[in-house]
Structure 1
């Protein structure tokens, strides 16, 4: 069978390429090693998070992805909640960072406002009022429930756009115009996109080594459902989060926040912990997370990390039910210096990888850009600043 485009990987990056191409009338097939997507795309908060992206092209991609998520949710029939987010400040240095960020060019494109403790109490019942100094409320962020969203997108692409899905089909070899499966089957295509995320060792591993791609492991938790009449509202982030996302990196007071945590709680830096919360469609709270890289990654999860995360969350939040229903970890691939990378590994074959923890926020718009370049050029073009 011949296709205009073959995509390897049924996570959000792969689905984004398939959707963008199918909307333009191209014939598309998606190949996935497992019976369904099982990687980082279903193991995250479900946050579409423009507030964490640096101003400029990266935030523009995040805002475009926000539009595409709403369009895709309406078409595929899964909930996309315009919930927004609140960064809570329980220390003066955290509030100073937010006050520096809000009026600065670093906030360009965002719909944000500084809020008082009293205003925060009206936005969410979850904020711990003890020592709360204020916060930053952003209207921009979205929420999806990742497993529901990813499976719904695949079903929609198959039903509405005739995208052919080949699950349980490991691809073991890729050449220009040709893919081969572990069972010896072959398919051809004009162009091929490899979006295999953390599972990049199986195809063109040398390219990923040259890019110095890192694996990152994160631990996450899901509470039991909260009472039906209790809703988190916006995503919640803490002062710890300010040191994690690059959007806040130029705020003068950020160094004081980093120094305080390094001195008072060095174990949080050791495990890359910053804490956030989102509410799943079933009513439980998705909590996390931690970041361990490369050789520090172990196959088993650490109870110490879960305990540290819960302790920090309970400092900034008050919720009816802290009982943990599920624990898991995810793996994603992170580029050490770029938003992601795109490389043409042989004629008409692209590897797209290294989004780090920003795949849900950036992938749909980035994929659209790739397909746009395909449509308007006889050759694949690498987007400025990604290669």
Structure 2
């Protein structure tokens, strides 16, 4: 049987694969996506659902994050999935947290970012713990989606609007220059993008081994929806998150903050915990998460770590009767100090991985840059 043909083959229907499908399809190319599962069930759906440009503010990746943000807004409108342009709020309860946030405001020189007083914060969210609150940094650029919904809706939209073909429940067993093979058939492809971590490991194990790539396991929680009229407003974070994000690296007071937090919250630091609170379109509250690094993880999640998350959440929020609805963990690719891994193991084949847990934030912009560079 003669191979079927496509101009662009994409392995993996997670957010990185879908972003590359969109970037190629917008150029009028014939795109075919292969996904080993019935739908995407990996890291792309096991996260907060937060396109988070502020996390890379003051870095070279901020323009890419903002271009991704624009695509999310357009896609949600066109594909019909829920999206909230709710922004984020960094809450400061200690002098060193306030100092770092004000240093960020000075460095950013962007009027979009605002310092809010406790009274102003109380008008933005019913959830902030006002006891001991010194104020907070509001950023308007962050979005919230429900990744379970969005990752189902995006393939339907890409198929309808751009003619992208999807083959779910179709593992790819071999890729070579010009060809993609599944268990059922062989395809001829002008260019192939491998955008799935598990497929990267099995299709090009020597490239994976040489990359230095490791993985990150995170634990997360979903809480029952509060009463119907209760809305969180902006996504909330506090000290541990301030200490974690790259946007605060290099600020004069960040090192002192990290030292203080290491002494105040040693077990949380050991588990790699920083805590965020988001609310999805169903009203559910999403919080987490832990961070453990390696190539192989214990498959059993720690309830102690989950309780540590909830304990820290209680320091900066006041929630109406919080009850855990679901617990889960996700695993994503990681390369220290890098946001992405791109390799060309042979002619017509590109491996693309997001490697810092910001796939929802950067993937659309990254895909546009990758496809443009290849001049397909």
If the TM-score is normalised by the length of the shorter chain, which range does it land in? Answer: over 0.9
* Range with greater deviation from structure 2 (26-35 or 332-341): 332-341
Q: Is the 8 A contact 2:116 2:138 kept in 1?
A: yes
C-alpha distance in structure 2 between counterparts of 1:251 and 1:329, whole Å? 32
Matching residue of 1:290: 290
In 2, the alpha carbon distance for the partners of 1:230 and 1:21 equals 41
In the alignment, what sits opposite 1:152? 153
1:48 alignment partner, SS class? coil
CA distance in 1, matches of 2:321, 2:367: 39
Measure how far apart 1:215 and its partner are.
0.6
Instruction: Assess if the C-alpha contact under 8 Å between 2:214 and 2:295 holds in 1.
Output: no
1:339 and 2:339 are equivalent in the alignment: yes
- Whole-Å separation in 1 of the counterparts to 2:58 and 2:296: 31
Q: CA deviation at 1:81?
A: 1.2
Secondary structure of the structure 2 residue equivalent to 1:282? coil
Are 1:114 and 2:115 matched, yes or no?
Answer: yes
Give the match's secondary structure for 1:103: helix
Does residue 350 of the first structure (1) align with residue 372 of the second (2)? no
Deviations 1:68-94 (A, max 9, x none): 111111111112211000001111111
| CA offset digits 1:284-329 (Å, max 9, x no partner) | 1000011000067311100111000000001100111310000000
**Equivalent in the alignment of 1:93:** 96
Which residue in 1 is equivalent to 2:164? Answer: 163
User: How far apart, CA to CA, are the structure 1 residues paired with 2:178 and 2:330?
Assistant: 32
Please tell me whether the aligned partners of residues 236 and 277 of structure 2 are also in contact (alpha carbons under 8 angstroms): yes
What CA RMSD, in Å, does the superposition of the two structures yield over aligned residues? 1.4
Match of 2:225?
225
Pairwise CA distance, 1:200: 3.2
Contact conserved, 1:110 with 1:138, CA < 8 A, in 2?
no
> Matched residue of 1:356: which SS?
coil
- Give 1:103's match in structure 2, choosing from 90, 106, 112: 106
Question: 1:184 Cα shift?
Answer: 4.5
Within the candidate set 66, 69, 75, 1:72 is matched to 75
Q: CA 1:198/1:62 → structure 2, altered by over 3 Å: closer, same or farther?
A: farther
Whether contact under 8 Å (1:333, 1:355) holds in the other structure is yes
In the alignment, what sits opposite 1:5?
8
Following TM superposition, by how much is the alpha carbon of 1:52 offset from its aligned partner in structure 2, in angstroms? Answer: 0.6
Q: How does 1:45-56 map to 2 (within 5 A)?
A: 45-56=48-59
Residue number in structure 1 paired with 2:85: 82
CA distance in 2, matches of 1:373, 1:300: 42
| Counterpart position of 2:327 | 327
1:203 alignment partner in structure 2 = 203
Q: Secondary structure at the match of 2:257?
A: helix
- Distance in 1 between the 2:99 and 2:60 partners? 26
Unaligned runs of 5+ in 1: 378-387
Indicate how the Cα distance of structure 1 residues 131 and 326 shifts in structure 2: closer, same or farther if over 3 A, else same. same
Q: Aligned partners of 2:145, 2:252: CA distance in 1, in Å? A: 33
By how many angstroms is 1:361 displaced?
Answer: 0.1
Contact kept? 2:59, 2:247, Cα under 8 Å: no
1:213–1:108 CA distance, 2 compared to 1 (3 A): farther
Q: Which residue of 2 aligns with 1:179?
A: 180
- For residues 161 and 97 of structure 2, what CA distance do their matches in structure 1 show? 47
Q: Which residue of 1 aligns with 2:131?
A: 130
Distance of 2:53 and 2:28 partners within structure 1: 30
Displacement after TM superposition at 1:109 (Å): 6.2
